[in-house]
Structure 1
Amino acid sequence: MSVVSRSVGNAFRNKIRTSAVVIILAVAIGLALSMLVANQAVASKVDSLKASVGNNLTVNPAGSRGGLGGGEPLTTAELTKASAVEHVTNVTGTLSVRFSNAAAETNTSTGGNGPAGGQGGPGGGFGASGTTSLESAVEPGSLGQRNNSNGSSGSSPDSGQGPVAAPAGFSIPIQATGVSTSTTATGAAINVTSGAQLTDFAAESKQALVGSTLATKNSLTVGSTFTVQDRTMTVTGIFDAGTEFDNNAIYLPLAATQTLTDQTDQLSSLTVTVDSIENMAATQTALTAALGADKVDVTSGSANLDSAITSLGSVQNISLIAFIASLVTAGLIVLLIMIMVVRERRREIGVLKAIGASNRTIGAQFVIEALVLVVMGSVVGAVVAAFSSNPIANALVAGNTSTSTTAVGVPGAGPGGAGPGGGFGGGEDFTRARGAFAGAEQLIGTVSTSLGWQTLVFGVAGILLIAALGALIPALLTAKVRPIEVLRGE
């Protein structure tokens, strides 16, 4: 009988013990594989976070965010200075504005809710920078009426009355963003689903991209026209920004937006791309010094990115330590089992030695027997890991991530924002502001795991190596005993 067949047969000599050993090994191996999968999933999450928000800085006027607060507009001079800062690879400027519906503004002005009515902007425009023929695709509802109401009572501060509501004909302003390239304020490409990107960025340009919900509301298709101020614009493309509010917006060439709103050379924000995540902090400090701390606020793509990466780094360390500990545990289990098996078969070892079996043959027999048990345990353990790795990974992440309060109702704009007169916006600036205040837990979200064949091969190879050592040590120690001593002892 060959060594292999004898070893396989010996592995099933005691079926009850074999079943118990396989179950115990399956738990240890399943935990080891789960930790290895969690470690790799967290590493992928870290790379994903760095790629998505790790290398962008946002420059806003000091004290201003999304059209609220104070400060002075940015200009191309600040853009040029920012471009010259070390480690900066690209700087793009945008101008966020709002356009009210021309017909609604006429009705509002007729009703006396213009500047005299105190409703916020010219002709009751609620901070709008101009007018458009487009009708908003978003109904104001209670929140829209509340956010765009007059902040005073209309009589005296002590009258006890609440804010004056927006007029009955009020409609949500159209958010607009002036861009110099076919990208959003965060530097990502605009997702044009129909038509083409902007190509004419001159001050006289008549091109525009329209959000999908706004286009549907106004029955616009590629090639349709609408007006902004006194200029007829042509729809070159329809874009999808992912939400109803963000799709109630338009993109215009930056120079054209500046001209139409009489904001020549003005910018709402700068998006600065840094060459590496490692240079983010130094570049943020350098930008603040170059542009002036009293003139600009420089923020990272997410204020909690460092916290999130640190938390994920802790999870990586924990999962790696747990993987090694599980491997060692599996090895100890095999070692103890094989010590017991070897002691039970001392007489058998003595007989094999007496008939000429070498130490290598005896050692190989017990190693193969142990590997049979480990292979069976690995099969069951892989099934365990497939179902347990995802909850284990997310439990580790949740346990090592501090939760911060997400700022709700942060004013923003976008595409677009509050015009010179103020008001509330949303979209990209809102997303940026929300991300800046969101806790690390919100930034990380969930971690998705996958037990691929590479991970399985790597994990099982490590387990088999530990198991082989655990089986070989007791077998070789016993095999060194002389046959006559073993048989005399029996």
Structure 2
Amino acid sequence: MSVLARSVGNAFRNKVRTAAVVAVLAVAIGLALAMLVANQAVGAKVQELNASVGTVLTVNPAGGQGFEGGGEPLTAEQAASAASVPNVTSVVGTSSLRLRNGAEAAAQTAAGTQAGPGGGQGGPAGQNATTLTTSLTAAIDAGTLGGRNQAANGTTGTTTAQPVRSLPITATGIGAEVDTTGKALVITAGTGLGDYTAESANALLGTSLAEKNNLAIGSTFTINDQTFTVAGLFDSGTTFGNNALYLTLPTAQTVAELPGELSSMIVTVDSMENLEAAKTALESALGTDKADVTQGQNLESAVSSLGSVKNISFIAFLAALGTAGLIILLIMVMLVRERSREIGVLKAIGAPNRTIGLQFVLEALVLVAMGSAVGAAVASFASGGIASALISTNTTTTAATTGRGAAMAGAAGGVGMPGGGAGFPGGTGGPLGGASQLLTSVTASASPGVIAAGIAAVFGVAIIGALVPALLTARIRPIEVLRGE
């Protein structure tokens, strides 16, 4: 009988024990593979964070951010100055507008309520001279938070019957196909706006906003009686972010009657290493009294949190791998002791040590192969949940720490939270800023390459675990083994 056939037969000699061993190995191997998949997914997400928002700087008017604060608006000349700063690869200007449904705005005005913060001007930081109205209805109900926040902006008149409050819709004019964090827009249907440096009657709508208004590609709506066509739909990943629309930058400036003015600038630097130097150069070129230059809202905290998850998952992978190896070692020690007489007989008839060692290694690999098959199936289902649990735990810790700092900043006169309680102005959405959405959107996919690498590591540990007891016993002389019987 060949060594391979004898090894396979030995693996199934005791079927109950074999099933138990395979089950235990499947749990250990499955956990190891799930942790390896989570580690690879988090590593890829860290690279994505660094590539997408890690080299992005945001420039706001000094003293202003989003729809809050004061100061003077940015200009096209300042955008040109920013573009000339060393290591800056692109500068994308934005013009943010707040839109109110025309019928609802009229009802609120008639009832003596303001159309928006700042005495009904409806524009970011008072940029718009008049309220911008639209035929669109906001995709988010005001609810308790929306009513409370808008009431805090003040009311006029003494009426007692107030109409139902509605939330504003954010319209952003952009000079390239990017969102407010500098990432490319995720267009789910239709196309982009083509030339973002030219006026256009097309618009991109958030999926929630389009669904609320029963709009599809080719549908039309109005802003200040100007008709726009839906060219595409985008998904920002959040309900608040999808209650928005994008226009080309010149179009937004024309609609708002604010030619050449910018609400903010998204500046991309060529590498993470040059980010701090570029930030300093931008502050010098634009003037700290004219512009505030900020570095990806709390990106460092987000990346640090993901880094912790990556380290934890790798350590857990090594621990699970070591556990699998220990299980194999103990099983093979037991099997070798059970078959010491068999080993003595094999040596007595001239079997070399490598043949005896190979027999037990092959038997261990048969058990590991079955455990790996079950473990891979377990990992494919469990890796996503494990990654989410690890990230959720670390995100909660980071958010709590960062949130305390944000609360202190707010108490010291920081930026408020307009609208329906959606989060911080400028689209940050919470303590971790724009990076929070990316941080929590890690997708753990059990790719064949990662699974194969994990199984290869398990097989390597199995070989060592099986060889050690087999070779130690095989080195003993046949007469000593048989005498022990």
- Counterpart-to-counterpart distance in 1, 2:107 and 2:441: 49
Match of 1:415 in 2: none
C-alpha contact 2:101 2:137 (8 A) present in aligned 1: no
- Report Cα offsets for 1:67-121 as digits up to 9, x if no partner: 321111111232122112222110021223456788998999999999xxx9825
**Alignment partner, residue 38 of structure 2:** 38
Counterpart amino acid of residue 22 in structure 1: V
User: C-alpha separation between the residues in 2 aligned to 1:441 and 1:98?
Assistant: 24
Quick check: 1:434 aligned with 2:429? yes
Contact 1:54 1:277 in 2 (8 A): yes
Partners in 1 of 2:477 and 2:244 — Cα distance? 89
Larger Cα Rg: Structure 1 or Structure 2?
Answer: 1
Q: Secondary structure at the match of 2:372?
A: helix
Question: Quick one: distance in 2 between partners of 1:184 and 1:440?
Answer: 13
| 1:130-279 pair list within 5 angstroms | 130=130, 134-138=134-138, 176-181=171-176, 184-187=179-182, 188-189=184-185, 191=187, 197=193, 199=195, 207-209=201-203, 211=205, 228=224, 233=226, 235=228, 237-242=230-235, 253-255=248-250, 257-258=252-253, 261=256, 263-279=258-274
Residue 158 (structure 1) aligns with? none
CA distance in 1, matches of 2:459, 2:365: 7
SS in 1 for 2:85: coil
Match for residue 386 of structure 2? 392
Q: Which residue of 2 aligns with 1:418?
A: none
Partner Cα separation in structure 2 for residue 376 and residue 441 of structure 1:
40
**TM-score scaled by length of structure 2:** 0.76
CA distance in 2, matches of 1:473, 1:58: 59
Q: Give the C-alpha shift of residue 136 in structure 1.
A: 4.5
Rounded to whole Å, the distance in 2 between the matches of 1:165 and 1:268 is 36
1:323–1:77 Cα change, 3 Å: same
The equivalent of 2:474 in structure 1 is 479
CA distance in 2, matches of 1:170, 1:482: 91
Match of 2:62 in 1: 62
Q: Determine the structure 2 residue equivalent to 1:455.
A: 450
Give the AA of the match of 2:479.
I
Q: Which amino acid aligns with 2:452?
A: V
Other-structure match for 1:414: none
Counterpart position of 1:464 = 459
Q: C-alpha displacement at 1:391, in angstroms?
A: 3.0
1:354 corresponds in structure 2 to: 348
Contact 2:167 2:420 survives alignment (8 Å): no
Q: Does the 8 Å CA contact 1:152/1:164 hold for their aligned counterparts?
A: no
Change (3 A) 1:59 1:357: same
Given the alignment of the two structures, is residue 376 of structure 1 paired with residue 375 of structure 2, yes or no? no
**Residue aligning to 2:359:** 365
The two structures have a TM-score, normalised by structure 1, of 0.75
- In 1: Cα distance, 2:132 partner to 2:267 partner: 31
Paired residues, number: 465
Given the alignment, which residue of 289, 292, 298 partners 2:284? 289
User: Structure 2: which 5+ residue stretches go unaligned?
Assistant: 408-417
- Structure 2 counterpart SS, 1:270: strand
Shift of 1:59: 0.6
Q: By how many angstroms is 1:170 displaced?
A: 9.2
Q: Deviations over 1:186-229 (max 9, x none)?
A: 55358495687265956xx574537485899699995979675x
DSSP 3-state at the match of 1:434: coil
SS in 1 for 2:258: coil
Q: Is 2:107–2:163's contact at 8 Å kept on the other side of the alignment?
A: no
Structure 1 position 344, deviation (Å): 2.9
Structure 1 gap ranges (5+): 156-162, 409-422
SS in 2 for 1:5: helix
In the superposition, relative to structure 1, how do residues 84 and 208 fare at CA in structure 2: closer, same or farther (>3 Å)? same
Question: Is the 2:98–2:169 Cα contact (8 Å) retained in structure 1?
Answer: yes
Answer whether contact 1:36 1:320 (CA < 8 A) is retained.
yes
User: AA paired with 1:307?
Assistant: S
Task: Assess, with a 3 A threshold, how the Cα gap between structure 1 residues 398 and 92 changes in structure 2: closer, same or farther.
Answer: closer
Q: For residue 447 of structure 2, what is the amino acid of its counterpart?
A: G
For 1:148 and 1:267, the matched residues in 2 are separated by 25
One-letter amino acid of the structure 1 residue matched with residue 450 of structure 2: T
1:9 maps to 9
How many Å separate the matches in 2 of 1:197 and 1:469? Answer: 60
In structure 2, relative to structure 1, the CA distance for the partners of 1:149 and 1:166 (3 Å cut) is farther
Structure 1 residues 489, 110: closer, same or farther in 2, change over 3 A?
closer
Give the aligned CA root-mean-square deviation in angstroms: 4.7
Q: Deviations over 1:235-275 (max 9, x none)?
A: 35444355887777665554465456553432211111122
Inter-partner Cα distance in structure 2 for 1:165 and 1:294: 44
Relative to 1, partners in 2 of residues 1:446 and 1:119: Cα closer, same or farther, differing over 3 Å? closer
Q: Answer yes or no: is 1:324 the counterpart of 2:318.
A: yes
Change (3 A) 1:238 1:393: closer
Q: Matches of residues 99-138 of structure 1 in structure 2 within 5 Å?
A: 120-121=119-120, 128-130=128-130, 134-138=134-138
After superposition, the C-alpha distances for 1:440-481 in whole angstroms (9 at most, x for unaligned) are: 766522543233332332222221221112222222222223
Native 8 Å contact 1:210 1:250 kept in 2: yes
| Counterparts of 1:489 and 1:105, CA distance in 2 | 96
Q: State the identity %.
A: 50
* Maintained 8 Å contact 2:146/2:419: no
SS in 2 for 1:299: strand
Deviations 1:13-39 (A, max 9, x none): 334443333333223222222221221
Matched position secondary structure for 1:235: strand
Match of 2:328 among 315, 334, 347: 334
Contact 2:132 2:256 in 1 (8 A): no
